[in-house]
Each structure stands twice: as structure tokens, then as C-alpha cells.
Structure 1
Amino acid sequence: MNNDRRKVAFIFSVNGGALLSFVGDGAQQVNPSPNTATQPVNEVVFSIGIEGVPDNRFQAAGTCKYGNAFAGVTQITCTASTDKGDFSARFTTSGKPPRPGF
């Protein structure tokens, strides 16, 4: 998800409606090959999804690695270390092309 011109966030749903986001500067993204990308992560955001309860934001050092979702089944893997501990999430796509508009 590109939520401003340079910021990139990978958002994973967690049990009970909580969200875990890995955030980084899109300008720092590298492409080791034509169908793969590595996105540096400098922030982890954890939201429990209750109105009025602020998100927990942590400075982080990590990466999200992913393949071309238009090319078939691929995996998104994010890992990051913070002063509150380590966070990780992984998602495997269905192999169907992403829907436009999201």
C-alpha cells in the first residue's frame, strides 16, 4: 500500500481485527531481479482496531521481500526488530492477479 508519494506499508490482519503494518520509504526499495523487490522497513505499527485507542508505533530496522503478484503465486515476507521486540509476518498469494483499485 502506498499511502503517500514515498511511504510504503504492508498491512497484515491479526486475530480479532488488529493490524500489523511494516512501513518504509519507497525510494529505498531495491529490485534484486525483475520479479522481486526488497523494501527496507523503518517503522512497525500495531493497531488493535478500537476507535479511540491510539496505534503503537515503533522505530524499526527490517525488510519486506516480495515477488511479482501478477506472475503467479508469490510470498510477502516482512521482518523487523524494534526496542520492544521482533515482529514478522508472511502471506502467500493465491496466484490470481491483484484486483485493481486497492
Structure 2
Amino acid sequence: MYTLDLLTVGRGRDVVDAALGYVGGLGYRALGSTTDEEALAILAREQVRLLVIGGGVEAESRQVLTAAAEGHGATVIQAERAGRGIEQYLAEEVVPMLGD
């Protein structure tokens, strides 16, 4: 049903790439973006299961992205790494949601 398991949006390319590498390595279909425009385009063309919005994304952008994702039936996760590395955060918070 879903064409994309995970869309991650962050402001740092290195963090987005690390997330994609980790989740993709587990066999999930994932894309990432560092811009709202690109993320909105992906949401418009793909059936996204989960949208993870990184901690560095501005409040206004979070609202726009959340509304778009929910409008397309995606679940939205506001990332809170709380000092954890990206892989630890994904393993503990995001991957269990993908396994459902």
C-alpha cells in the first residue's frame, strides 16, 4: 500500500543521510529532504507511512509539513533525540513504528 516507509526532514544533510542509511539498511524504503519544498513534493507524489521531522526544523515549517503529511494519511513524528545518536534514536523510537 505504501510506496515509502519513511520520509525524514531535517536541516542538516549529514543527519538526513545518516537516517536514510540506517533505515534503508534495514530494508525500509526511505527518502529524505533538507527543504520544505522537496518534502512537500515527495508527500504529494508518494504514499508515505511515516514523516519524521528533525529537531532543527523551524516551528512554521513543522506546521506546514505536519498538515500536508496528515492530509495524505501519513503519521508524523516530531523527533526528540535527547542527546542520543541518530541510529540509537531511530532504533528506539522510529523502527518499532515501522514494524507495526
TM range (shorter): under 0.3
Q: TM-score, normalised by structure 1?
A: 0.26
Q: Which has the higher contact order (CA 8 A, sep 6+)?
A: 2
The structure with the largest alpha-carbon Rg is: 1
More helix by share: 2
